[in-house]
Amino acid sequence: MSVLEIKDLKVSIDTDAGEKEILKGVDLTIKSGEIHAIMGPNGSGKSTLAYAIAGHPRYNVTGGTITLDGEDVLEMSVDERAKAGLFLAMQYPVEIPGVTVSNFLRTAKTAVSGEAPKIRQWVGDVREAMDALRMDPAFQERNVNEGFSGGEKKRNEILQMELLKPSFAVLDETDSGLDVDALRVVSEGVNRVHEANDLGVLLITHYTRILRYIEPDFVHVFVDGRVAERGGKDLAVRLEDEGYDRFLKAGV
Amino acid sequence: MTTTENVRSEEKFVPIQTRSERPSSFEPADFETPTGREVNWKHSDLKRLAPLLVDEATENIGHDGIRYGVEAIDAAGVLVESTGHEAAVRGEVFTPEDLPAAIAWKQCSNALHIQIPEGKSIGEPLVARLEGLGADIHANAHIIVEALPGSQSTVVLHHTGSAAYAQNVEIIVRDGARLNFISVQDWEDDTVHASAHQARVDSDAYLKHMVVSFGGGAVRVNPSVRLHGTGSETEMYGLAFADSGQHMESQVFMFHEGENTTGNVLYKGALQGKGARYVWIGDVLIGEGANGTDSYEKNQNLVLTDGTRADSIPNLEIKNGNIEGAGHASATGRFDDEQLFYLRSRGIPEDEARRLVVVGFLMEIVQKIGIDEIETRIEALIQEELAAGASLAPAAKAGA
């Protein structure tokens, strides 16, 4: 049992107009095996939370803590966080010219587990995971995300999550840009990893659509850099009917 | 969170200049001294190449600027005794197209002539080791690589040391011959080098032509391949790693002249450090009689830090519509903070991330060399470059 604990997290970014506070004190505790949905309107700070957890240099943590089983995550470098068991499935996966998916996956696996995977086992694992995500094996020879469609990029993120076996995954708008078939395949992948590895999931989404496939234990509504409301799955259903209007009005 | 556009691609169709009509002459006086406005000098480092524009005697100054280590080639029995201006093969294919080439032609009275005997297959690469003996010594050379009909061989020019070197390389691949030719610029950084390669590929012959440039201050290697014979084929590969202050340039010309010729050009450049510059100009001409041509050219550059500049200019000129295919592409991408973050977020440490990207990008070409000794040397050079680049900040985000 692992715990990812976020306390009173304040995050700002540098803009042309000076420093801008995006997260204004966020509290969130995720345990192994739990699925938390973070919902909220655009600009509410959802993605900022994702990047702050992963350690993106653009986001300055100005207050609060993030700990993983008591260890100070904010003290860790980006790659140390991955090694500690955190994973971020990105909304906009980056193209890496000249690096094949195959090479990338093997290098990442070696880095995360501290030793090179046994070749035969690894090749089988990769093939199996790609099959499950309905990815053509020829994908392995393509450069990471280069020329990938939106759906292919997202599958590639889930593929990495499946193979790197993190203890907590943040899925940043993984549903955006997916058609219904791709959404189902990707969601199945998340559920599979969740079940197999007792993965704790922080599912960031604007829409409730993905929650039909991935059932959250908790729903948190983000408004203006804070959690405005918490609830169970039924909260997502309410949001689907009502939208975010009532939160936005309350914030004015 | 906004994404950055990591790759800028351009597809150009610019049939403005007719490369085949470029002036050529054996007489230096026929060329104006370049000003930097000419199409073939516009992106060049004229300031540093200036010593190579002086028409002066270069073989009577006490010692030569270049030591030619051709013992192994001599031992293999493929070296032809000194070849003067009027010798039969010299000038069969080569005609100078710019001033340094005309000077090199004139001032080099004894060409180095490597001739692969008819029908002979030589498995071991024939490596000529050209060592520069001083950047203050103006050296000129004419080198002939002639593959007689049906022969198979690999010829390497490996350049090291310091030099001010104008060099012509005349390559003749006769009927049915297969030649791998590789020129490695492994110079010290005070070297200036202007080299013009002109090749003719005859019927059913094949030329793999490679230009690999790592060292040198201003290095201009302009290869031109004329697919003359029916069914002739060429693969032209280039690899350049330009560091701070280095100016690397390749103006590539591929001329589909005969019928059913096949040509593929792939040049890659990596740039890091302030003032690193790479210039690639790729001209492809599909001639009037070139029925059945299959042609492709591509240039890809990887920008590793700020302060560099890559120019990539593809030109395709088609005078015959009855062809299999013709295409070109050019892309310059940056290794930026977002790529670094992405790789590190998967547990890969920063230095490893950089290594992964650069090596991955360059190895596609390195693997085509096919000579262990050279590949090992190039890999070591890549590692050296990476070690040197580790202290430099990655390229800033596009638009930042």
Name B78's Cβ contacts closer than 8 Å, sequence gap at least 6.
B114, B115, B116, B117, B122, B126, B153
The answer to whether the CB of A125 falls within 8 A of the CB of A102 is: no
Q: By a Cβ cutoff of 8 Å, what residues of chain A touch chain B?
A: 47-48, 51, 54-58, 77-79, 81-83, 87-88, 90-100, 103-104, 107-108, 111-112, 143, 146, 160, 164
Tokens describing residue A6: 């976020």
Range of lowest pLDDT (A79-88, A99-108, B4-13, B218-227):
B4-13
**Predicted local confidence at residue B59, as pLDDT:** 61
- Give the total number of structural domains in chain A: 1
* B6 or B310, which is more confident: B310
Give me the torsion for CA of A6, A8, A9, A11, rounded to 10°. Answer: 170
Residue B159 lies in a domain: yes
How many CB atoms lie under 10 A from the CB of residue A194?
Answer: 19
Question: 3-state class of A24 per DSSP?
Answer: strand
Cβ of A57 within 8 Å of Cβ of B3? The answer is: no
Cα–Cα dist B130/B135, whole Å:
14
Cα–Cα dist B252/A184, whole Å:
49
Cα–Cα dist A83/A30, whole Å:
18
**Predicted local confidence at residue B15, as pLDDT:** 41
Cβ of B7 within 8 Å of Cβ of A146? The answer is: yes
Bridge partners of residue B116, in order along the sequence: B147
pLDDT in tens, B56-101: 988 644 468 999 999 999 999 999 987 788 888 999 999 999 999 9
Task: Using a pLDDT cut of 90, give the percent of chain A over it.
Answer: 84
Name the closest residue on chain A to residue B363, using Cα atoms. Answer: A98
Cβ of A48 within 8 Å of Cβ of B357? The answer is: no
Mutant choice from A76, A79, A102 vs B, greatest count of B C-beta within 10 A? A79
**Predicted local confidence at residue B333, as pLDDT:** 83
Cα–Cα dist B12/A248, whole Å:
49
Cβ-in-10-Å burial (0-12, 13-18, 19+) of A232 comes to exposed
B396 — pLDDT class (breaks 50, 70, 90): low
**Chain A residues touching B352 at Cβ < 8 A:** 107, 111
The answer to whether the CB of B245 falls within 8 A of the CB of B272 is: no
User: Is the model's pLDDT at A152 over the cut of 90?
Assistant: yes
Name the closest residue on chain A to residue B3, using Cα atoms. Answer: A92
Bridge partners of residue A229, in order along the sequence: A221
User: Is the model's pLDDT at A87 over the cut of 60?
Assistant: yes
**Predicted local confidence at residue B63, as pLDDT:** 62
Domain encompassing residue A180: 3-251
Task: Count Cα atoms within 13 angstroms, Cβ side, for B274.
Answer: 1
What mean pLDDT do residues B303-313 have? 93
Q: For Cα atoms B203, B208, B212, give the angle at the middle one, nearest 5 degrees.
A: 155
3-state percent helix, strand, coil for chain A, nearest multiple of 5? 40, 30, 30
Cβ of B1 within 8 Å of Cβ of A92? The answer is: yes
B138 — pLDDT class (breaks 50, 70, 90): very high
What mean pLDDT do residues A124-133 have? 96
Name A147's Cβ contacts closer than 8 Å, sequence gap at least 6.
none
**pTM assigned to the model:** 0.78
User: Is the model's pLDDT at B3 over the cut of 60?
Assistant: no
Cα–Cα dist A152/A175, whole Å:
12
Measured N-to-C along each axis, helices B350-366 and B337-344 cross at an angle, to the nearest 10 degrees, of 110
pLDDT in tens, A174-222: 998 899 999 999 999 999 999 999 999 999 998 889 999 999 999 999 9
**Chain B residues touching A47 at Cβ < 8 A:** 1
The answer to whether the CB of B129 falls within 8 A of the CB of B69 is: yes
Task: Count Cα atoms within 13 angstroms, Cβ side, for A24.
Answer: 12
Cα–Cα dist B183/B298, whole Å:
19
* B81 or A171, which is more confident: A171
**Chain B residues touching A55 at Cβ < 8 A:** 345
Sign of CA dihedral B353, A147, B294, B250: negative
Tokens describing residue A145: 């995300």
What mean pLDDT do residues B377-399 have? 74
Task: Using a pLDDT cut of 90, give the percent of chain B over it.
Answer: 74
**Predicted local confidence at residue B367, as pLDDT:** 85
Cβ of A97 within 8 Å of Cβ of B7? The answer is: yes
Cα–Cα dist B226/B185, whole Å:
23
- HEC string for B55-69: CCCCCCCCCCCEEEE
Name A142's Cβ contacts closer than 8 Å, sequence gap at least 6.
A100, A101, A148
Q: What's the gap in Å between the CA of A5 and the closest CA on chain B? A: 19
B155 — pLDDT class (breaks 50, 70, 90): very high
Of the candidates B393, B399, B400, which has an alpha carbon nearest to the alpha carbon of residue B306? B393
Of the candidates A146, A81, A111, A87, which has an alpha carbon nearest to the alpha carbon of residue B352? A111
Cβ of A96 within 8 Å of Cβ of B344? The answer is: no
Name A183's Cβ contacts closer than 8 Å, sequence gap at least 6.
A175, A209, A210, A213
Tokens describing residue A230: 């918490």
**Predicted local confidence at residue B17, as pLDDT:** 54
Residue where the block lists tokens 């990207």: B357
- Largest Cα separation within chain B, whole Å, is 68
Of the candidates A215, A162, A202, A198, which has an alpha carbon nearest to the alpha carbon of residue A2? A198
pLDDT in tens, A35-69: 999 999 888 999 999 999 999 999 999 999 999 99
**Predicted local confidence at residue B290, as pLDDT:** 97
What is the C-alpha end-to-end distance of chain B, expressed in Å? Answer: 14
Name B399's Cβ contacts closer than 8 Å, sequence gap at least 6.
B4, B5
**Predicted local confidence at residue B271, as pLDDT:** 95
Range of lowest pLDDT (A167-181, B272-286, B369-383):
B369-383
B395 — pLDDT class (breaks 50, 70, 90): low
User: Is the model's pLDDT at A12 over the cut of 80?
Assistant: yes
Name the closest residue on chain A to residue B6, using Cα atoms. Answer: A95
Cβ of A99 within 8 Å of Cβ of B356? The answer is: yes
**Chain B residues touching A162 at Cβ < 8 A:** none
**Predicted local confidence at residue B360, as pLDDT:** 81
The answer to whether the CB of A37 falls within 8 A of the CB of A61 is: no
Q: By a Cβ cutoff of 8 Å, what residues of chain B touch chain A?
A: 1, 3, 6-7, 300, 302, 331, 333, 337-339, 341-350, 352, 356-364
Name A43's Cβ contacts closer than 8 Å, sequence gap at least 6.
none
Cβ of B341 within 8 Å of Cβ of A92? The answer is: no
Q: What's the gap in Å between the CA of A184 and the closest CA on chain B? A: 24
Of the candidates B169, B228, B298, which has an alpha carbon nearest to the alpha carbon of residue B20? B228
Domain encompassing residue B61: 7-336
**Predicted local confidence at residue B14, as pLDDT:** 43
Name the closest residue on chain A to residue B397, using Cα atoms. Answer: A58
**Predicted local confidence at residue B400, as pLDDT:** 32
Residue B348 lies in a domain: no
- Give the total number of structural domains in chain B: 1
Residue B16 lies in a domain: yes
- Residue B39 φ then ψ, to 5°: -60, -30
Question: 3-state class of B368 per DSSP?
Answer: coil
CATH code of residue A112: 3.40.50.300
Cβ of A164 within 8 Å of Cβ of B347? The answer is: yes
What mean pLDDT do residues A144-166 have? 95
